[in-house]
Amino acid sequence: MIHSAFLALATVAGLVFATPSAYAQIPSFPISVAKPKPIELDTRPRNYGLQPGDMVFFNDHKWHWVWLYKMVGSDAPYHAALVFRKPNGESALVEAGPNDTLYCRITEIEPRFRDFPGDVTVRRLKTPLSPAASDALTQWSLERDGKKYAIWRLLLQGTPVCCRAPLRKELFGKTYLNRNRYLCAELVVAGGTIAGIFDPNVHKANTIYPRDIVADDIYDLSHLYHPAEAIIPYETTVPQGKCPPRH
């Protein structure tokens, strides 16, 4: 108990006071994630072919996120978002805390991918959502816009009161479909539950991190999603029919 409390205090303090050189001393947690397969690039107007219910993962390699997730026994990626279809028919993302902000936002896919200073990975649904499920996800996603990011629950992840702890996961793990504050993966799983993708008795949103759903070794989603693949963002206007990656 004392060790866990100290771990939480060290995590919070580290976010403020630690240096990149200190991060280099943190031990590594072994994981097994298959190398994502890049998608084929083309020059057509596009939204990257994403459909409602697809999951998107972001890794900006910032040392404080690397440290924080290792401290709680997880790893990259450090942010997740969910694709939905807006009323005008365009695909967009709903996400909690994009770019380290403190609110849930609706973001446009192409500029989000193009401007993100890091790696973007997607998992695509194997079976498209029904029109009714997609409409339900649209309505729910629009209602999340402007809600707050659960910063205080984030800081509790290294303490015994974290819902991810084994006993508390069984007692308090739950998917809340309508709350005022969300963590990023929690928002993705809640939205996926609205769409009928996730089982709330198995995939308890407040216990899940992005790493848990990007591969199938923690939660086996292989019957629902294709394996993760890398997205290589590129310019909207490309001369001479070429699509160079934007770094």
> What is the pLDDT, as a whole number, of residue 37?
41
Q: Are 214 and 230 in contact (CB under 8 A)?
A: no
Q: Are 173 and 206 in contact (CB under 8 A)?
A: yes
> What is the pLDDT, as a whole number, of residue 73?
79
> What is the pLDDT, as a whole number, of residue 219?
93
> What is the pLDDT, as a whole number, of residue 90?
95
Question: Which CATH code fits 2-19+50-234?
Answer: 3.90.1720.10
> What is the pLDDT, as a whole number, of residue 30?
36
Residues of the chain with pLDDT under 70: 1-47, 158-171, 233-247
Nearest to 121 by CA among 57, 62, 60, 59: 57
Ordered by start, the domain boundaries in the chain are 2-19+50-234
Cα dihedral 154, 159, 165, 171 sign: negative
Q: Which residues lie closer than 8 Å to 69 by C-beta, 6 or more apart?
A: 75, 76, 78, 209, 211
> What is the pLDDT, as a whole number, of residue 234?
52
Q: According to DSSP H, which parts of the chain are helical?
A: 2-17, 20-23, 63-71, 109-115, 131-144, 151-155, 166-172, 184-194, 210-214
> What is the pLDDT, as a whole number, of residue 168?
63
Cα distance between residue 212 and residue 228, in whole Å: 12
Q: What is the pTM of this model?
A: 0.75
